[in-house]
Amino acid sequence: MPLKSHDVLALEEMDAEDIRLILDTADSLKEIMFRAIKKVPTLRGKTVVTLFYEPSTRTRTSFELAAKYMSADTVSISTTTSSIQKGETLRDTVRTLEAMGADLVVMRHPVSGSCHYLARCLDAPVINAGDGMHEHPTQGLLDLFTIRERKGRLEGLTVAIVGDILHSRVARSDIWGLLKMGARVRVAGPPTLLPPGLEDVGVRVCRTVEEALQDADVVQVLRIQRERQRGGYFPSVREYAKFFGVNAARLGLAKPDVLLMHPGPMNRGVEITSDIADGPRAVIREQVTNGVAVRMALLYLLLGGREE
Amino acid sequence: MREKARIMDAEGIRRAVVRIAHEILERNKGTQNLVLVGIRRRGVPLACRLARTIEEIEGARLPTGVLDITLYRDDLSTRLDQPVVHRTEVPFDVSGKRVVLVDDVLYTGRTVRAAMDAIMDLGRPQVIQLAVLVDRGHRELPIRADYVGKNLPTSRREVVAVRLQETDGRDEVVIEEPCAADQGKER
């Protein structure tokens, strides 16, 4: 029962069956990370290229460790040290990599849709590690995994996503993934940072954070992306923290067994207060661990045992 | 698939498990440091049955684990159907232990090779032994079983089907042969 998709570009394009297969596979592979020797020979002789046109520590490291735990070789290319500086086009860069024998390309790029373009240029599978304001499907999958592992299910849960929905590719992937798996999704944030059309796909848009958090099973707090904040979407960071920051009092409105999630990196004291980020309801570190397991699963499903 | 011969029934399987349990205890001089690891899928219920039988004989409950060998297969890049990975659950340290691997059928030996690699990635056992319900021959690797329920000479085109209550709803071992209706289907 292989994955139906050749690439992993967006959860919007993936069906529930494929998502379930990825989560189940990740569940089986997670154990490897806790072994004394964290390595299985499954992807020996395969080469994974990570190509990042935007800064990233956790996503890139997560992919590289996932590949190494599965015995694949990894090559990482960043824009500052490569021929991209000399004006090489994206297409030429990846065609060169493919000619050198890359079996799979992981890309992060500031332009929405760039991974789709890449997938059309390449025969090798492509995994989107974040394209502009579009999607970050592996983050969406690790969030689904974390919720399912802790709650035992996704169906019927109420998940509140709080913050800058407009610029957030994490929010987009989370929303598509959660809706496909039968969860209810609410969002809250400054009105300037809520994209239009959310209600049309079945998301409940709340006027206040309190309304969104009321009796929620899961709260995903998004990072305020200061690098995308030149447009004056809200008056000040202080005001944002006051009206939209998640703190102990607001978290208290959710169910007692609520899961507090954050895709990282956190702006402590802005969108989330330190006491709850380090508190018993937070599963933020688990999200990071699960990210490696989910990426191992994707590498296995895309590279392990298929002759194209 | 046409049934060609019925090799074991529930009672036959039960007796084989009891005999193997005694042989394991005899060879290892008791249960000291002994652990059982079943290879998915049908090695798992067999390992549980052996553990229960050994408990009845010696009064000691052996640690029992579950091994999924998918990640260690040598045919992953040639198979068209990608196998689903299931969990490996070996909730004890295998280092210094006497590990008895349990599987239903020993055939080419490739599964056992993969299982040994998987076990060695988890630690360094003192000994690895192999218990199988059926040894049907046609080895492709220098591997043999330490405990065998039944030696069964077969031809390569035959299929040995082991069915167990826990996975298939009944206990039996039968030899099946592809018939005209199976033409074009794999196995």
pLDDT, tens only, A98-126: 898 999 999 999 999 999 999 999 999 99
Closest-CA distance, B171 to chain A, in angstroms, reads 27
Residue B84 to residue A41, Cβ atoms within 8 A: no
Residues from chain A contacting residue B76 (CB–CB below 8 Å)? 42, 304-305
Asked if B77 has any chain A CB less than 8 Å from its own CB, the reply is: yes
Can you tell me the distance from the alpha carbon of B130 to that of B37, in angstroms, rounded to the nearest whole number? Answer: 10
**Any catalytic annotation for residue A58?**
yes
**Any catalytic annotation for residue A86?**
yes
**Any catalytic annotation for residue A136?**
yes
Query: Are the CB atoms for A237 and A198 separated by under 8 Å?
Result: no
Quick one: average pLDDT of A157-170? 96
Task: Report the percentage of chain A scoring pLDDT > 70.
Answer: 96
Above 60 in pLDDT, residue B185? no
pLDDT, tens only, A135-145: 999 999 999 99
Residue A304 to residue B76, Cβ atoms within 8 A: yes
How many CB pairs lie under 8 A apart between chains A and B? 55
Which residues 7-66 of B are in CB contact (within 8 Å) with A? none
What pLDDT does residue A1 have? 61
What pLDDT does residue A81 have? 67
For the entire predicted model, the pTM comes to 0.92
pLDDT mean across residues, chain B: 93
pLDDT mean across residues, chain A: 93
Residue B87 to residue A2, Cβ atoms within 8 A: no
Above 50 in pLDDT, residue B187? no
C-alpha distances in angstroms, A260 versus A2, A245, A275, A283, B136?
A: 33, 13, 12, 6, 54
pLDDT, tens only, A29-59: 999 999 989 999 999 999 999 999 998 889 9
**Any catalytic annotation for residue A91?**
no
For residue B112, give the 3-state DSSP assignment. Answer: helix
Residue B84 to residue A24, Cβ atoms within 8 A: yes
Which residues 126-165 of B are in CB contact (within 8 Å) with A? none
Residues from chain A contacting residue B80 (CB–CB below 8 Å)? 306-307
**Single-letter amino acid code for the residue at B155:** S
Write b or e for each residue in B7-39: b if 16 or more Cβ atoms lie within 10 A of its Cβ, otherwise e. bbeeebbeebbbebbeebbeebeebeebbbbbb
**More confident: A171 or B1:** A171
pLDDT, tens only, A184-242: 999 999 999 999 999 999 999 999 999 999 999 999 999 998 766 666 788 888 899 99
Asked if B121 has any chain A CB less than 8 Å from its own CB, the reply is: yes
Can you tell me the distance from the alpha carbon of A139 to that of A220, in angstroms, rounded to the nearest whole number? Answer: 12
Q: What is the CA radius of gyration of chain B?
A: 17
Task: For chain A, list the strands marked E by DSSP.
Answer: 47-52, 73-78, 104-109, 126-131, 158-162, 184-188, 204-205, 218-221, 259-261
Beta carbons within 8 Å of A89's beta carbon, 6+ residues apart: none
C-alpha distances in angstroms, A241 versus A24, A161, B144?
A: 37, 15, 68
Residues from chain B contacting residue A29 (CB–CB below 8 Å)? 71, 85
User: Nearest to residue A100, comparing CAs of A80, A73, A127?
Assistant: A73
**Any catalytic annotation for residue A30?**
no
